[in-house]
Structure 1
Amino acid sequence: MLPLRLFFTALQFLTRLPIPRWVGFEPEWLARCTPYFVPVGVLVGALTGAVLWASAQLWPPVIAVLLAMAAGVYITGGFHEDGLADTCDGLGGAVSREKALLIMKDSRLGSYGALGLVLVLALKAAALWTLAQASPLTAALMLTWTQGISRALPVALMTALPYAGDPEHAKAKPLASGSGTGELALTMGFALALCALLATLRPTLLPAMAVGLATCAAVGLWMARWLHRRLGGYTGDTLGATQQFGEVALLLGLLAWH
Structure 2
Amino acid sequence: MPSESRLLAGARLAVTTFTTVPVRAGRIDRPVAGTAMALAPAVGALLGALLAGVLLLSGAFAPPLVAAGVTVGAAALLTRGLHLDGLADTVDALGSYRRGAAALEIMKKPDVGPFGVVALVVVLLVQAAALADLAGRSWPACVAAVVTATATGRFGVAVACRRGVPAARPAGLGALVAGTVGPVALAVGAVAVALLAVPAVPGRPWQGPLAVVAALAVAALLLTHVVRRLGGITGDVLGATVEVVTTLVYLGLVLSG
TM-score, structure 1 length as denominator? Answer: 0.87
- Verify the 8 A CA contact 2:197 2:212 in the aligned structure 1: no
Change (3 A) 1:115 1:201: closer
1:16 to 4, 15, 20: 20
Distance (whole Å) between structure 2 residues aligned to residue 137 and residue 153 of structure 1: 24
1:77 to 72, 76, 80: 80
- Residue 105 (structure 1) aligned with residue 104 (structure 2): no
Change (3 A) 1:26 1:227: closer
User: Which stretch of structure 1 is more off in the superposition, 214-223 or 121-130?
Assistant: 214-223
- Verify the 8 A CA contact 2:173 2:234 in the aligned structure 1: no
- Residue 179 (structure 1) aligned with residue 180 (structure 2): yes
Change (3 A) 1:202 1:119: closer
Distance (whole Å) between structure 1 residues aligned to residue 34 and residue 101 of structure 2: 26
Change (3 A) 1:194 1:157: closer
Counterpart in the other structure of 1:195: 194
Q: CA RMSD in A?
A: 2.3
1:10-49 superposed matches below 5 A: 10-19=14-23, 21=24, 24-28=26-30, 29-49=32-52
- Residue 235 (structure 1) aligned with residue 234 (structure 2): yes
Count of equivalent residues:
251
1:98-247 superposed matches below 5 A: 98-135=101-138, 137-159=140-162, 160-164=164-168, 166-168=169-171, 170-171=172-173, 173-175=175-177, 177-181=178-182, 184-199=183-198, 204-247=203-246
Change (3 A) 1:46 1:81: same
Counterpart in the other structure of 1:50: 53
Distance (whole Å) between structure 1 residues aligned to residue 130 and residue 52 of structure 2: 14
Change (3 A) 1:246 1:95: same
- Percent identity of paired positions between Structure 1 and Structure 2: 30
- C-alpha distance after superposition, 1:232-257 (max 9, x if no partner): 32211111111111111111222234
- Verify the 8 A CA contact 2:160 2:233 in the aligned structure 1: yes
User: Which stretch of structure 1 is more off in the superposition, 33-42 or 205-214?
Assistant: 205-214
Amino acid in structure 2 at the alignment position of 1:235: T
Distance (whole Å) between structure 2 residues aligned to residue 218 and residue 194 of structure 1: 14
User: Which stretch of structure 1 is more off in the superposition, 211-220 or 112-121?
Assistant: 211-220
- Verify the 8 A CA contact 1:84 1:116 in the aligned structure 2: yes
Distance (whole Å) between structure 1 residues aligned to residue 141 and residue 202 of structure 2: 12
**Structure 1 counterpart SS, 2:233:** coil
Counterpart in the other structure of 2:91: 88
Change (3 A) 1:141 1:210: closer
Change (3 A) 1:243 1:227: same
Change (3 A) 1:63 1:201: closer
Amino acid in structure 2 at the alignment position of 1:178: G
- Verify the 8 A CA contact 1:45 1:147 in the aligned structure 2: yes
- Verify the 8 A CA contact 1:43 1:144 in the aligned structure 2: yes
Distance (whole Å) between structure 2 residues aligned to residue 131 and residue 203 of structure 1: 11
- Verify the 8 A CA contact 2:144 2:196 in the aligned structure 1: no
2:68 to 65, 70, 82: 65
Distance (whole Å) between structure 2 residues aligned to residue 171 and residue 254 of structure 1: 31
Amino acid in structure 2 at the alignment position of 1:254: L
TM-score, structure 2 length as denominator? Answer: 0.88
Distance (whole Å) between structure 1 residues aligned to residue 215 and residue 49 of structure 2: 20
5+ residue gaps, structure 1: none
5+ residue gaps, structure 2: none
Post-superposition shift, 1:92? Answer: 1.1
